[in-house]
Amino acid sequence: MADLSVGRIINSNGGFYYVETAGSVITECRARGIFRKNGISPLVGDEVRFSVTPTGEGSVEEILPRKNFFNRPPCANIDMLICVSSVADPAPNQLVNDRMTVCAERRGVVPVMLFSKTDIKTAEYYVGIYEKAGMISFGFSAETGENIDRIRTLLKDRVCVLTGNSGVGKSSLLNALDPSLSLATAGISDKLGRGRHTTRTVTLYKLCGGLVADTPGFSVLDFENDEHIPPDELAYLFPEFLPYLGDCRFGSSCAHVKDKGCAVTEAVQNGLIARERWESYTAMYAEATEVENRKWDR
């Protein structure tokens, strides 16, 4: 076999993987059948070994060990998950946002909560929720340029992924950071009031001294198919709960939902934990418990 080169997958589309090597050379590759058999497919962000035949056909031969990976959005080796919600249309979905922070925390990836379209409405209320949780959170506008420089500094020296519902303005943000990208963007559908799913594939761009992935928007993330989290693990994935977890009256059996003597619910009542986040927690806890019970019923 010819010598193998090492590169990073920067896009995948229709069964092809686009692998970038030094000097920004991009090779179109297929994946070896063995990946499909093992149930592992290469992801954008993967470092891979690949071969090229004399006729120029590339083939991914091996995925190098991953630091982490996400099923949704599908990508690997991420340092920071930038969750984008719009304060206007489409409205923020608190539960989906909090699920994304949980998925990030679970992998040791830093979650950042950004709120777009602040030229239309202030993001103060939402930002307050995530600041209270100790996360980086602020509003920005791709239209006026508000806080775009702050995002620039976040991207430096990191591999980031942008996630968020269709129409929140992920591609518009990348265009604001670098107009030469000229990514396709589209307005919200008048008929449905939803995004148009303009971005169709995950792509990594070199930007602001780092790498950032644009991804297709999605509006649901379910615990059964996308990410199963054991209910007992969940509270540990809300960083603002951590200082209270040892103080519940019934110790580790406390679900922090409506239990007597629960230090977490007490902190919610005292305004030390944002009620919105705790409500997301209780909804996720119920769902995770249901998924767990179904697993045992089978």
172, 179 in Cβ contact below 8 A? no
**What residues contact 272, with CB distance under 8 A and at least 6 apart?**
none
Residue closer to Zn ion, measured from CB, 148 or 245 = 245
CB of 129 to ligand GTP, least distance (A): 20
CB of 260 to Zn ion, least distance (A): 9
CA distance 288 to 98: 14
Query: What is the number of residues in the chain?
Result: 298
Residue 59: CA count within 13 A, CB half-sphere: 14
Q: Which pair of tokens denotes residue 12?
A: 């995948």
Q: Which pair of tokens denotes residue 45?
A: 């962000």
Q: Which of residues 180-199 bind Mg ion (CB under 5 A)?
A: 198-199
Q: List, as one string, the DSSP characters of 222-250.
A: -TTTT----HHHHGGGSGGGGGGTT--TT
Assess 171 for contact with Mg ion (CB under 5 A): yes
262 binds, among ligand GTP, Zn ion, Mg ion, none (CB under 5 to 8 A by kind): Zn ion
Cα dist. 245→230, 261, 268 in Å?
17, 12, 13
Query: Pattern of binders to ligand GTP over 78-117, x per CB under 6 A?
Result: --------------------------------------xx
Q: How many CB atoms sit inside 10 A of residue 10's CB?
A: 21
Please identify which residue in 82, 176, 262, 267 interacts with Zn ion, judged by CB under 5 A.
Answer: 262
Residue closer to Zn ion, measured from CB, 191 or 258 = 258
196 binds, among Zn ion, Mg ion, ligand GTP, none (CB under 5 to 8 A by kind): ligand GTP
12 binds, among Mg ion, ligand GTP, Zn ion, none (CB under 5 to 8 A by kind): none
Q: Which of residues 242-261 bind Zn ion (CB under 5 A)?
A: 248, 254, 256
How big is the site for Zn ion, counted in residues (CB under 5 A)?
Answer: 5
Assess 168 for contact with ligand GTP (CB under 6 A): yes
- Site stretch for ligand GTP (CB under 6 A), options 26-34, 56-64, 95-103, 179-187: 179-187
Burial annotation 49-62 (CB, 10 A radius, 16+ → b, else e): bbbbeeeeebbbbb
CB of 190 to ligand GTP, least distance (A): 12
CB of 140 to ligand GTP, least distance (A): 7
**What residues contact 243, with CB distance under 8 A and at least 6 apart?**
none
Q: Which of residues 210-239 bind ligand GTP (CB under 6 A)?
A: 216-217
Cα dihedral 27→28→32→33 (10° resolution): 170
**What residues contact 256, with CB distance under 8 A and at least 6 apart?**
235, 241, 245, 248, 262, 264, 265, 278, 281, 285
Assess 74 for contact with ligand GTP (CB under 6 A): no
How big is the site for ligand GTP, counted in residues (CB under 6 A)?
Answer: 25
CA distance 203 to 216: 10
Residue closer to Zn ion, measured from CB, 161 or 262 = 262
CB of 184 to ligand GTP, least distance (A): 7
Assess 163 for contact with Mg ion (CB under 5 A): no
Assess 119 for contact with ligand GTP (CB under 6 A): yes
Interface contacts to ligand GTP, rule CB under 6 A: 116-117, 119-120, 141-143, 164, 166-172, 185-187, 195-199, 216-217
